[in-house]
Amino acid sequence: MTEPASTGAVRHANKRGAARLAAVQALYQMDVAGSGVFEITAEYEAFRLGKEVDGALYREADAQWF
Distance, CA of 65 to CA of 15 (rounded, Å) = 9
**Is residue 1 a part of any domain in this protein?**
no
**Is residue 66 a part of any domain in this protein?**
no
**Is residue 64 a part of any domain in this protein?**
no
**Is residue 29 a part of any domain in this protein?**
yes
Distance, CA of 65 to CA of 59 (rounded, Å) = 14
**Is residue 42 a part of any domain in this protein?**
yes
**Is residue 65 a part of any domain in this protein?**
no
**Is residue 63 a part of any domain in this protein?**
no
What's the pLDDT score for residue 27?
A: 95
Determine the average pLDDT of the residues in 15-41: 93
Segments forming the whole domain that contains residue 15: 7-57
Which tens digit of pLDDT belongs to each residue from 29-61? 999 999 999 999 999 889 888 888 888 888 888
Determine the average pLDDT of the residues in 8-21: 78
Query: How many angstroms separate the Cα of 25 from the Cα of each of 3, 7, 18?
Result: 34, 27, 11
**Is residue 2 a part of any domain in this protein?**
no
Count of structural domains within the chain: 1
Distance, CA of 61 to CA of 39 (rounded, Å) = 18
DSSP assigned state of 64: T
What's the pLDDT score for residue 66?
A: 82
